[in-house]
Amino acid sequence: MRTETLRQEQDPDVLRLRAQLERVQGRRLDAPVLPVHPALAALLPGGGLRQGAAYSLAPSASLLLALLAGPSQAGSWCGAIGMPELGAEAAERLGVDLSRLVLVPDPGARWLAVTSTVSEVLPVVAVRPGSRAGAAEVSRLAARLRDRGAVLLVQGPWPQAEAVLGLGDPEWSGLGRGHGYLAGRALTVTVSSRRWPVPRSGRMLLPGAGGEIEALPAETRPAPRPVPVGERAPASSGSALPRDETGAARELFEPERMLEAAG
């Protein structure tokens, strides 16, 4: 009886059907992944970028380049589609091997077709969608990614994503009271995935003073100061401006807005 069961499991038709089911259902947890920086690997399913999967990213050039750095250094070719402002110098400082980076600044209205074509020849493809993609188009692209073992990094929402990477709590360093140079930015990266019920978060420099990425230890934020009776409580947003002796708010330079404008 056991011999018959083993013979059925080794049948070519059974093996072929099993492979097709695995390809349709998605990647296994033990599937190979492309390497990323340890600060990001600790947050991603499988510890890296899973081949054949798509990832939805917050609209941050630094986050995107940090994810491209590891695969390009390991010898994988990477492509960036629909990002004309992506800077080669910033990419190099974050560790991207420029000799393995292909740029398609303006794919036009056929950005999805261009992305699908590029994913056939490049292992890692990053794209900023120029319009909304239909469900059927997304499914066809997903099937092609699985077939080729390519990784798709999408700036913005994307259905069927392996994980969603978000950014929060940005803090710039190096800037004084209206003067100085921006030296680095600390922020929190949060990864949500269908692989686990609770999101994972990590604090890191992105970028650091030298342009690189660096993990930060978990920090304890100070408890809020008690507000005496009669004193007005500060705004809950955490971005209240300092006030002078007359109570008038004084505007300060906000590097976060500068970052959003730069992408």
Q: What is the pLDDT of residues 153-209, one digit of tens each?
A: 999 999 989 999 999 998 887 666 666 566 678 999 999 998 888 999 999 998 877
Of residues 18 and 262, more confidently modeled: 18
Q: Are 111 and 82 in contact (CB under 8 A)?
A: yes
Q: Which of 6-20, 78-92, 174-188 has the highest mean pLDDT?
A: 78-92
Q: Which domains does the chain have, with CATH numbers?
A: 30-163 (3.40.50.300)
pTM check: above 0.85: no
- How far is residue 132's CA from residue 157's CA, in Å, rounded to a whole number? 10
Q: Smallest Cα–Cα separation from 78: which of 123, 119, 142?
A: 123
DSSP string, the chain: -HHHHHHHHT-HHHHHHHHHHHHHH---TTS-EE---HHHHTTSGGGSEETT-EEEE-S-HHHHHHHHHHHHHTT--EEEES-TT--HHHHHHTT--GGGEEEES--GGGHHHHHHHHTTT-SEEEE--SSPPPHHHHHHHHHHHHHHT-EEEEES--TT-SEEEEEEEEEEEEE-SS-EEEEEEEEEEEEEETT-SS-EEEEEESS-TTS--EE----PPPPPPPPPTTSPPPPTTS-PPPB-TTS-B-----HHHHHHHH-
Q: Are strands 124-127 and 78-81 parallel, antiparallel or unpaired?
A: parallel
Q: Which two tokens stand for residue 120?
A: 């056939």
Q: What is the pLDDT of residues 220-261, one digit of tens each?
A: 444 444 444 444 444 444 433 333 333 333 333 333 433 343
Provide mean pLDDT across the span 43-63: 96
Q: What is the pLDDT of residues 138-158, one digit of tens each?
A: 999 999 999 999 999 999 999
pLDDT at 246: 32
Q: Is the pLDDT of residue 87 over 70?
A: yes
